[in-house]
Amino acid sequence: MSAREATGRQVMLKSELPGHLIRHATLRQLQVFEAIVRLGSFTQAAEELFLTQPTVSIQIKKLSDALGMPLFEHVGRKVYPTEVGHVLYEACREILGSLSNLEMKLAELHGLKRGRLRLAAITTAQYLAPSILGQFARRYPEVELSLEVSNYDRVLARLANNDDDLYIIGHVPDQLTDVAVYPFAPNPLVVMARRDHPLIGRRNIPLQRLAREYFLMREPGSGIREATRKLFDRHGIEPKIRMELGSNEAIKQAVIGGLGIAVLSLHTLSSEGTCGPIGLLDVAQFPIVRQWNIVHPRRKVLSTVAQTFLDFAIKDEARIRTQIDQMLQDFQHSLTN
């Protein structure tokens, strides 16, 4: 018997009978407990559920008393679930997920789309995801939306933990085999420079010419950095990296400051277009053609709202592609004038 199974057995013995929890624990207590484990904080759980922190503490004490065992241990200022807490958390996710899905299906029978959508996206997708969510919210205003934006490794960790409903990423690593992948929008990578850079306006710049420029790059592990290095390696080019920065916005500001050039997703210029303080360089082998993907664990049963959003995003690809094509056309037009 594994340690997890032994702990589950202890919970059963403490609770005496299978009906004990039904009589002594409430759904609200399970909801509070799930939020604390997911967020790692009593305070953040209280804020998310619009409760006071003393109320949250009382609910957890009652739930712990019902189980007859502690659910959390405090290490410094952080709280971690005990072994019993881990067992209960797995059950909570199933129970609350099933209830949420039931609620949305009942709402759908009344011609409504209600519920909550939890979406996680890599930082580059911060320029794409709000646009799709805005379109989705206009069609389904009753749906509560949550967007977590983080770096690539963190989003993959959230995917592994099944923390969200759906995940927007670029490159899907080969070792990520147990996921369902839905390509849904183009994600071209382009070379950007300050508007007064001497290469702005030149046509058909050889890729080797970039070896003389200083580059601003994302941190190791970034999908954009990996795609750029692969292209340069194939052509025997070693870029001169002046700075590594942890966000696309920081790189954009560094480009504007004249610190170097950068390879970024064209989506990062979605608000200002290609005629702002940052311009595009017409470099051979660019744009690097990539794709946005929505992924989720393969065995995950999507809620009604999550499935609705997935279908919506795939259909919304035509609008996104039109925007990207127009930006590239504007850039090509600027080269001829």
DSSP type of residue 16: -
DSSP type of residue 123: G
- Strand-strand pairing, 166-169 and 291-297: antiparallel
Give per-residue pLDDT as tens, 77-94: 788 999 999 999 988 888
Q: Give percent of the chain above pLDDT 90.
A: 41
| Whether residue 287 has a cis bond before it, omega within 30° of 0 | yes
- Strand-strand pairing, 278-281 and 262-265: unpaired
DSSP type of residue 205: B
What domains can be seen in the chain, in order of their start residue? Answer: 3-102 (1.10.10.10), 113-186+291-325 (3.40.190.10), 189-289 (3.40.190.290)
Q: Encode 251-298 in three state secondary structure.
A: HHHHHHCCCCEEEEEHHHHCCCHHHCCEEEECECCCCECCEEEEEEEC
Give per-residue pLDDT as tens, 142-181: 888 999 998 888 899 999 888 899 999 988 888 888 899 9
Q: Could you tell me which of 163, 148, 147 has the C-alpha nearest to residue 35?
A: 163
The pLDDT of residue 321 is above 80: yes
The first and second tokens of residue 231, run together, are 């292209």
The pLDDT value given to residue 317? 87
> Is there a contact between 84 and 67 (Cβ–Cβ < 8 Å)?
yes
The pLDDT of residue 57 is above 60: yes
> Is there a contact between 331 and 201 (Cβ–Cβ < 8 Å)?
no
Alpha-carbon gap, residue 195 to 207, rounded angstroms: 19
Amino acid at 129: A
Average pLDDT rounded to a whole number, residues 263-286 = 85
Token match 């609350």: residue?
Answer: 96
Within 10 Å of residue 159's Cβ, how many Cβ atoms?
20
Token match 């953040």: residue?
Answer: 44
Q: Which residues of 313-327 are buried (b: 16+ CB within 10 A; e: fewer)?
A: beebbeebeebbeeb
Q: How confident is the model at residue 194 (pLDDT cuts 50, 70, 90)?
A: very high
The first and second tokens of residue 134, run together, are 């805005």
Token match 């923390």: residue?
Answer: 163
The pLDDT of residue 95 is above 50: yes
Per the prediction, the chain carries an average pLDDT of: 85
pTM beyond 0.75, yes or no: no
Token match 């959230």: residue?
Answer: 158
The pLDDT of residue 310 is above 60: yes
Identify the residue with better confidence: 1 or 210. Answer: 210
Q: Which residues of 71-104 are buried (b: 16+ CB within 10 A; e: fewer)?
A: bbeeeeeebebebbbbbbbeebbeebbeebbebb
E-assigned strand segments in 101-202: 115-122, 143-150, 166-169, 179-186, 189-194
Average pLDDT rounded to a whole number, residues 238-245 = 92
Residues 6+ apart with CB under 8 A from 113: 104, 107, 140, 142, 143, 304, 305, 308
The pLDDT value given to residue 109? 60
Residues recorded for the chain: 337
Element (H, E) at 140: none
Alpha-carbon gap, residue 125 to 292, rounded angstroms: 8
The first and second tokens of residue 281, run together, are 């360089």
Where residue 25 falls (left for φ over 0; alpha for ψ -120 to 50; beta otherwise) is beta
The pLDDT value given to residue 336? 64
Amino acid at 263: V
The pLDDT value given to residue 39? 86
The pLDDT value given to residue 8? 46
